[in-house]
Amino acid sequence: MSYNESAGAGWKFVESSESAAALLDAALDLEPDEPVTRSELADVADVTLKQLYLDETIADLASAGVFESVEPKQDGEVTYVRNPDSEVLEAAERFDRALGERLDE
């Protein structure tokens, strides 16, 4: 049996980041065209703004196609939108629904 080094990499990322799970959950609740700043995303995800500035989780999730950077709002703060075509979010939504259904049984 061959070993795939990328197997489990997504779970390891979510596990190792203090804010990844909360940001993914928040992304599922955002409208695809709803622009949010880091501070607004911190509020929605219920994580501290300091935490988002200290780690690179938003940048990593943007690289993975979860968020897309867009023109900053009036205050000039970096602004993101949820990527409506994100395979990661599609998988997260399926996982959330499947686990929720099993836990409700």
The CATH number that applies at residue 51 is 1.10.10.10
Given a cut of 80, is residue 6 above it in pLDDT?
no
Order of strands across the sheet that contains 36-37? 36-37, 79-82, 67-70
The reply to whether 57 falls in a domain is yes
Give the structural domain span for 55: 19-104
The reply to whether 70 falls in a domain is yes
Q: Which two tokens stand for residue 67?
A: 């968020």
Q: State the total domains in the chain.
A: 1
* Mean of all residue pLDDT scores within the chain: 87
In tens, the pLDDT along 38-63 reads 999 999 999 998 988 888 899 999 99
Q: Give residue 7's pLDDT.
A: 62
Q: Give residue 5's pLDDT.
A: 56
Neighbours of 88 (CB within 10 A): 15
Which residue has better confidence, 73 or 103?
Answer: 103
Burial class (CB in 10 A: 0-12, 13-18, 19+), 63: exposed
The reply to whether 12 falls in a domain is no
Q: Give residue 74's pLDDT.
A: 72
